[in-house]
Structure 1
Amino acid sequence: MVKPITIGIAGGTGAGKTSLSNAIYKELGGQKNCVHLTHDHYYKDQSHKTMEERSKTNFDHPDSLETELLVQHLQELKEGKIAILPTYDFKTHARTPVTTMVHPRNIIIVEGILIFTHPGLCKELDMKVFVDADSDTRVLRRIRRDTVERGRTLDSIMAQYESHVKPMHEQWVEPSKKHADVIINSEVGTSQKIAIDMLTNHLRVAGECT
């Protein structure tokens, strides 16, 4: 096995990180050649708190995530070892007993809004991509995702956006853009298609994907 190539994909909530990550994953052969690590799986367990306390947690602050564990798993995969990943339930704000065994692959994709805010994680990434989008576009995408996938109400989504998401984006996410090697505007279809082709061609060669 060749030395894995790691790519980090960051950006604000609803910017299009998951769509880009999934497109690259699919173009490079999926599970055959790639591992897709999502920072969202590493939220700290909240099961010791009441549901009311859990709902007040600032999930958009770096301290809400166990990033050191993500770094550990990334290092294990880069060393050719198996990593055991946690699973997080967004409806209960708690880790579940279910874990996922992930085998090392030539390409490792790491996705999350705050991954460029952690120096140790940045050092593990060979390529850093920031996905950008207008704030109105991002909040509409977040509403669609959280109502459909996470069973949340519009009122709770907007309250969280105003109290945590927007200020944390301005404090942490937007400034982390300076660490990116590539910035993509997900609202421009042709720009995103060109970026996907460029990234996958580079990763395919570097990671010796077949």
Structure 2
Amino acid sequence: MTSLPNKKFSFTTDSDEERSSKSPYIVGVCGGSGSGKTSVCKEIIKKLHNKRVSLLSQDWFYRTLNEKELENVSEHDWDDPSALDQDLLYETLKKVKQGVTVTCPKYDFCNNRPSTTEFSIVEGDVILFEGIHIFHTKELRDLIDIKVFVDVDDDIRLGRRIIRDTKERGRTAESIINQYFKFVKPGFDNFVSPTKKFADIILLRGSSNKVAISLLVQQIKAEIDNRNSSYFNNIKKQFLVEKFTLPKFDKILN
């Protein structure tokens, strides 16, 4: 196990032979704060009940704030892509794409640092990768197999954010609304909304759009089944070649 400096993220270091040659199918779920990305992922997981599915959240990759930033944390712009450790995010997703098990902590937004709760992203059929900035860089986009943008009305997203942050992060409605108009909405308009053009699928109304989610899941299942079929066909071909290929002789005996 190799640990990364100043972070509790780690990657397994199995040999190439020990790693599966199957790459997981990466589903990117993007959208503004409060659009229901996590709810969409939960619906997909329910419908993929017979597949091995893991969730990887961009929210786990926020930078640890320095002392100066902590002193004025209410003015910290969490909605700017620079708030994330983009290099670590890319390296982690790349490892996941290669079938490497990744261990990472959940970010503690109450204390503004990585928490002691860790998640392991293991080899599987599907990785659901969700976050507001996951389409921001070409490097990340190129690792994603299918890109979904959850498109929900601004007022609905704000209402959901107020409910979530008062309940889960101990904040007041006033502070949430102030942050929304100072950072969240400009961040969405400047950084998140423009990445909608990179989406393969735009999911209107989020997790309430059951028909669209069912169609998306059908596409995911078809891709997984196709990959599994190709994978096992290659194994079968390799087995037949190894089993039935006659040995070669340097000389022919008369």
CA contact (8 A) 2:36 2:207 kept: no
Quick one: distance in 1 between partners of 2:138 and 2:69? 32
| Match of residue 142, structure 1, among 161, 164, 173 | 161
Counterpart residue identity of residue 60, structure 2: H
User: What corresponds to 2:100 in structure 1?
Assistant: 81
Quick one: distance in 2 between partners of 1:59 and 1:79? 29
Deviation, structure 1 residue 87: 2.1
User: What corresponds to 2:124 in structure 1?
Assistant: 105
Deviation, structure 1 residue 102: 2.1
User: What corresponds to 2:87 in structure 1?
Assistant: 68
Q: Any residues of structure 2 matched to 1:194-205 within 5 Å, and which?
A: 194-205=211-222
Quick one: distance in 2 between partners of 1:51 and 1:66? 17
| Match of residue 45, structure 1, among 64, 67, 71 | 64
Pairing 1:131–2:159 present: no
Counterpart residue identity of residue 55, structure 1: S
Deviation, structure 1 residue 171: 0.4
Alpha-carbon RMSD across the aligned residues, in angstroms, is 1.9
Secondary structure, aligned partner of 1:87: strand
User: What corresponds to 1:58 in structure 2?
Assistant: 77
> Could you give the per-residue CA deviations for residues 108-151 of structure 1, whole angstroms, max 9, x where no partner exists?
11100111112111110010000111111110011111111111
> Once the two structures are aligned, what percentage of the paired residues are identical?
37
Quick one: distance in 2 between partners of 1:79 and 1:149? 34
* Unpaired stretches in structure 2, ≥5 consecutive residues: 1-19, 229-254
Quick one: distance in 1 between partners of 2:81 and 2:206? 26
User: What corresponds to 1:19 in structure 2?
Assistant: 39
Task: Report how many aligned residue pairs link the two structures.
Answer: 206
Quick one: distance in 1 between partners of 2:206 and 2:138? 29
TM norm structure 1: 0.91
Deviation, structure 1 residue 38: 0.6
When Rg is computed on C-alpha atoms for both structures, the one with the higher figure is 2
Measured at CA, do residues 117 and 77 of structure 1 come closer, stay the same or move farther in structure 2, by a change above 3 Å? same
CA contact (8 A) 2:24 2:124 kept: yes
TM norm structure 2: 0.76
> Could you give the per-residue CA deviations for residues 42-61 of structure 1, whole angstroms, max 9, x where no partner exists?
11111534643222210000
User: What corresponds to 1:4 in structure 2?
Assistant: 24
User: What corresponds to 2:178 in structure 1?
Assistant: 159
Q: Any residues of structure 2 matched to 1:163-178 within 5 Å, and which?
A: 163-178=182-197
CA contact (8 A) 1:9 1:17 kept: yes
Deviation, structure 1 residue 27: 1.5
Quick one: distance in 2 between partners of 1:79 and 1:15? 30
* Unpaired stretches in structure 1, ≥5 consecutive residues: none
Quick one: distance in 2 between partners of 1:48 and 1:106? 41
